[in-house]
Amino acid sequence: MVTINENYLKLKAGYLFPEIARRVNAFAEANPTAQIIRLGIGDVTEPLPAACREAMIRAVEEMGDRASFRGYGPEQGYEWLRQKIAEHDFQARGCAIDASEIFISDGSKCDCGNILDIFGDTNTIAVTDPVYPVYVDTNVMAGHTGPANEAGEYDGLVYLPISAENHFTAQIPQQKVDLIYLCFPNNPTGATATKEHLQAWVDYARQHGSIILFDAAYEAFITDPSLPHSIFELQGARECAIEFRSFSKNAGFTGTRCAFTVVPKSLQATTSDGSCVDLWKLWNRRQSTKFNGVSYIVQRGAEAVYSPDGRVQVEALIRFYMENARIIREQLTNAGLQVYGGVNAPYVWVKTPDALSSWDFFDKLLQSCHVVGTPGSGFGAAGEGYFRISAFNSRENVIQAMERITAKFRA
Ligand SMILES: *Cc1c(COP(=O)(O)O)cnc(C)c1O
């Protein structure tokens, strides 16, 4: 018989979202008239910006004409898109990133997992707790961990707890770690990193020869002008960081699929005999071999994000979600709850009241308010006692949900 990759057997069953669905379905069956509002899922709700839609329609027409038809594009993405990204997202913010260092892909989730292809198997890996589960599970699949314990923590990973006590920014470890996953603005806590905090990470990485895998999927939600949008705004980051970006959350491309990864040409790692290798070359080779590029139509849609109309429309989308976040923060605070995040991120991270567990609070909110959120413990052991509310929803749903919660909790 054929053998399998047994690392998959170490994975804790995809527990969080199926368990949420199970509890919501059970409740809905028992209470068929309840109007359930879902503020749990990290998916956008508003339609694509018109500029993106129009650009994609034009691209479809081009594909229908022999003269302008396109077959395979460059595996790294079209030059016109990479150029616009380099200019608008990086050079305009003072980051020395060249278009050739940008690799277009069909998603940040896959890039975060695929990046492990170019690293060795003996690296020490650090993640925050709570964390976006993709970073952990892809390392488990790649055989970089031992089994999980009762709390769901995998042997061999370094967990950096984040909580209200450290303002949801991990303490920089005393020990040396090789790969560090950072996500700012953060999913699930909605926390952000100051320039000083990120600079300390970059300095740590330079000192220890580590590499930071920086997930900036939510950078567009930053409202505080003093906060960095890219890790490449920090001194020395070109020598120690890879950045993941996506059009999913800013332009609503979760179902359209386009993202990119920045691998500086100055970034190096070593072979087992100590010689230095450019990671750009490895990632370029990896993508050229295993990936055939993002659809021409979708890349034209992504390009339109940088057009004058596209920029205005994307800003309006972000403002819409951030107004939801503001309402959620204000109303939950009125209800007497302690809230974090939601100022530079579309997630509000709530301390559960009366020392309720994350799941007990989930049940309470579902049963008494018919509102669904995400238990913090689903993102890691240190998320216990917290709860995530997403601002991705219609204004009506957000207002309704908040009215129900304030009515229930203020009383
Ligand atoms: C949504 C999200 C992404 C983006 O994933 P895509 O595959 O590009 O849709 C990346 N990182 C985090 C933390 C996210 O929440």
Mean pLDDT of the chain: 96
Rounded mean pLDDT, 241-262: 98
In this prediction, residue 92 carries a pLDDT of 97
CB distance 128 to ligand 1 below 6 Å: no
Q: With CA atoms as reference, report the closest residue to 81 among 402, 241, 298, 379.
A: 298
pLDDT (tens digit per residue) in 183-226: 999 999 999 999 999 999 999 999 999 999 999 999 999 999 99
Cα atoms in the 13 Å half-sphere on the side-chain side of 156? 16
pLDDT (tens digit per residue) in 164-195: 999 899 999 989 999 999 999 999 999 999 99
CB distance 346 to ligand 1 below 6 Å: no
Fold of 7-47+309-410: Aspartate Aminotransferase, domain 1 (3.90.1150)
Indicate if the pLDDT at residue 239 is higher than 70.
yes
CB distance 251 to ligand 1 below 6 Å: no
Lowest-pLDDT choice from 4-8, 15-19, 58-62, 322-326? 15-19
- CATH 3.40.640.10 assigned to domain 52-307? The reply is yes
CB distance 245 to ligand 1 below 6 Å: no
Indicate if the pLDDT at residue 410 is higher than 90.
no
pLDDT (tens digit per residue) in 78-99: 999 999 999 999 999 999 999 9
Locate 34 and state its tokens. 């309840």
Longest dimension (CA), the chain: 68
Cα 238 to middle of ligand 1, angstroms = 22
154 DSSP 8-state letter = B
Which regions of 123-240 does DSSP assign to beta strands (E)?
A: 125-129, 157-161, 179-183, 211-215
pLDDT (tens digit per residue) in 14-30: 778 889 999 999 999 99
Decide: helix, strand or coil at residue 246: strand
CB distance 302 to ligand 1 below 6 Å: no
In this prediction, residue 248 carries a pLDDT of 98
Atom of ligand 1 nearest to the CA of 110: 7
pLDDT (tens digit per residue) in 322-343: 999 999 999 999 999 999 999 9
Indicate the domain borders of the chain.
Answer: 7-47+309-410, 52-307
| pTM confidence score | 0.97
